[in-house]
Amino acid sequence: MMEKFNAGSYDVVVIGAGHAGCEAALASARLGSKTLLLSINLDSVAMMPCNPSIGGTGKGHLVREIDALGGEMGLNIDKAFIQSRMLNHSKGPAVHSLRAQADKSLYHREMKKVIENQENLFLKQGEITEILVENDEIKGVVTAIGAVYDAKAVILATGTYLGGKIFIGSSVFQSGPNGLAPALKLTESLKNLGINMTRFKTGTPARVNSRTLNYDKMSEENGDDEIVPFSFMNENLEIEQIPCWLTYTNEETHKIIIDNMHRSPMFSGEIEGVGPRYCPSIETKIVRFEDRPRHQLFIEPEGTETNEMYVQGMSTSLPEDVQIKFMQTIPGMENVEVMRPAYAIEYDCIDPTQLKLSLEFKNVPYLFSAGQFNGSSGYEEAAAQGLIAGINAHRKINGQEEFILDRSQGYIGVLIDDLVIKGTDEPYRMMTSRAEYRLILRQDNADLRLTEMSYNMGLASEERYQRLVEKKELIDKEMERLKTTKFKPDQINVVMEMCGSTPTKNGMSLYEILKRPELSYKAVEEMDTNRPDHRKDVFKQCEVEIKYEGYIKKQLIQIEKFKSLEQKRLDKTIDYSTIDGLRIEARQKLDEIKPTSIGQASRISGVSPADISVLMIYLEQQRRKRREEK
């Protein structure tokens, strides 16, 4: 029998040092809690086992919000990026999403450095095998070698390590990502606490040797000339960016994959876990889109000090010999050398409807959960949950109110609300289409939305808050200047004609001019001779607010309606089985999830508008009953 020994006492213990664990630990430590961050291997701190990038459509919004709240991901990618691009630039500002290619090794080193130097934060290597609970209270954790760490709160951020199993063709073995050790004993401890577990699956493409690729047969994909930082603390970033490369599969590629489909554990039934719909394997793509003659692949560098290239778009669990064979049919990859084969990984995770919006378990007080363990996918989704879990673990042990962002306040609110209220039957990925109020929740205004509330609870720094105050003042001054700076028709029409805009017979202010879709700050630059030397983000904010003023007002009205439903509170002690008129499915789902408001109830899968009407009547009846009793 393993001998246990006490190894120290902490306020918060975080299990796992991936993107969720790093943000959770930094948040709780910065707020003042003595925090222990544990990882099976310290080489896996902030590791990128899959795509070597941060951001992307919808995900870029999350990173900006993490940064606005005082998190680390935005600052860290600004130190470690090797290429930067703004996606969806031809579309409206609501869906503009920043994406940066990362130097994987540098990203890991820089985050580890921040963690090691953070006051109140202690980083240690060790596998957790048991959560200690006495009288329904968290007492601590136990490692595989018997070390007991006392804790007031614990955050689970196990990623894909818990029960990790790798699939490469017929080769199946227990492992975490990138060949690191899995965590094989903690699941049983969690089940003993009454936590319902499930299995999900994800995968990653091969890494290939850049020296064996022929780039003359590929299209070069460069970064933007003007680099936009992820962090609101940075203004001008200049580096020599490294190109990515674009190539395509073809009919020969597809034939080899189809001919070997029986060797894929995805299709042979060996893999039980559910995979991500929005990041399918190449096998799934070919089966699902059989009419497509080709699929695009991005060949992306993994860093400046390595020859490893990531083949984005070619996740697979086929045997390595098949992987090499079909990759050699692709233009530019005829002589490819595989350095690391692609694989699928299956892992233990939870049904996130077991959590509160604070990410605390409903049935295990002081136990929190974040990241892929909650059924999400992606570094950005994980980091966002980690930040909120870290904040709330600290606030819980200090008797403070939960910190919760709702759907109208941020993409982080949408992410957590979707997971906790709706649940997920596949790895959840953030997309702009999931946010109802995306014109308000733009990535460019995340600081204006979130930094002050973070500062008020003690997380965002004084320096960050003062930058926000300065930005607000500059925006107000610039908006006033735009409204009061006017031009005569002959001055305006020169610019109008150049931009294909209808000439005017009347004088106009700069504010009125910028309302026209085809006109921009840059278009009126020569005419606007008294323009102050403001930060670029100030001009950007003013232009968006002016051009979309009408739409923004409509969305604000929608948010007011949303808020009114959120304010109609539902007591967690309600027995929904006793409410006449509710359908059986609705009763079961409402009893299981215990929504805190009518708004939340309306978003539960299986609860219909008719059920919501019944709940509204029930609330009114209860209100009248209380009034009569008084």
Regarding beta strands 97-102 and 35-39, do their DSSP bridges make them parallel or antiparallel, or are they unpaired?
Answer: unpaired
What one-character-per-residue DSSP string does 54-69 give?
EE-TTHHHHHHHHHHT
Question: Are 417 and 357 spatial neighbours (Cβ–Cβ below 8 Å)?
Answer: yes
Distances (CA, A) of 357 to 350, 371, 398: 15, 14, 18
Q: Is the pLDDT of residue 159 over 90?
A: yes
Q: Is the pLDDT of residue 625 over 90?
A: no
Give tens-digit pLDDT for 509-538.
999 989 998 888 888 888 888 888 888 899
Question: Are 201 and 344 spatial neighbours (Cβ–Cβ below 8 Å)?
Answer: yes
Give domain limits for the chain.
1-458, 462-552, 567-629
**Interval 238-242 mean pLDDT:** 94
| Residue-level pLDDT at 394 | 98
Question: What is Dmax (Cα atoms) for the chain?
Answer: 91
Instruction: State the pLDDT confidence band at 400, using cuts at 50, 70 and 90.
Output: very high
**Interval 486-508 mean pLDDT:** 87
Alpha-carbon distance 468 to 462, whole Å? 10
Side by side, which strands form the sheet with 53-55?
A: 53-55, 97-102, 81-87
Which residues, 6+ apart, have CB-to-CB distance to 126 below 8 Å? 38, 39, 40, 143, 144, 145, 147
Three-state SS annotation for 361-413: ECCCCCEEECHHHHCECCHHHHHHHHHHHHHHHHHHHCCCCCCCCCCCCCHHH
**Interval 239-265 mean pLDDT:** 95
Structure tokens at 69: 């709240």
Q: Is the pLDDT of residue 207 over 80?
A: yes
Which of these ranges, 28-37, 238-247, 480-489, has the smallest mean pLDDT? 480-489
Give tens-digit pLDDT for 94-113.
999 999 999 999 999 999 99
Q: Is the pLDDT of residue 267 over 80?
A: no
pTM > 0.85: yes
Alpha-carbon distance 233 to 240, whole Å? 21
Q: Is the pLDDT of residue 136 over 90?
A: no
Q: Name the fold adopted by 567-629.
A: DNA polymerase; domain 1 (1.10.150)
Q: Which residue has the tokens 């910028």?
A: 514
| Residue-level pLDDT at 414 | 96
Residue 75 amino acid letter: L
Question: Are 570 and 596 spatial neighbours (Cβ–Cβ below 8 Å)?
Answer: yes
Please give the angle made by the CA atoms of 292, 312 and 224, to the nearest 5 degrees.
105
| Residue-level pLDDT at 520 | 87
Alpha-carbon distance 537 to 615, whole Å? 45
Q: Name the fold adopted by 1-458.
A: FAD/NAD(P)-binding domain (3.50.50)
**Interval 409-438 mean pLDDT:** 94
Instruction: State the pLDDT confidence band at 627, using cuts at 50, 70 and 90.
Output: confident
Q: Which top CATH class is 462-552? A: mainly alpha
Regarding beta strands 121-125 and 35-39, do their DSSP bridges make them parallel or antiparallel, or are they unpaired?
Answer: parallel
Distances (CA, A) of 480 to 348, 474, 511, 546: 55, 10, 9, 12
Percentage of the chain beyond pLDDT 90 is 82
Which residues, 6+ apart, have CB-to-CB distance to 574 below 8 Å? 590, 594
Q: Which residue has the tokens 């899959």?
A: 50
Regarding beta strands 147-156 and 5-15, do their DSSP bridges make them parallel or antiparallel, or are they unpaired?
Answer: parallel
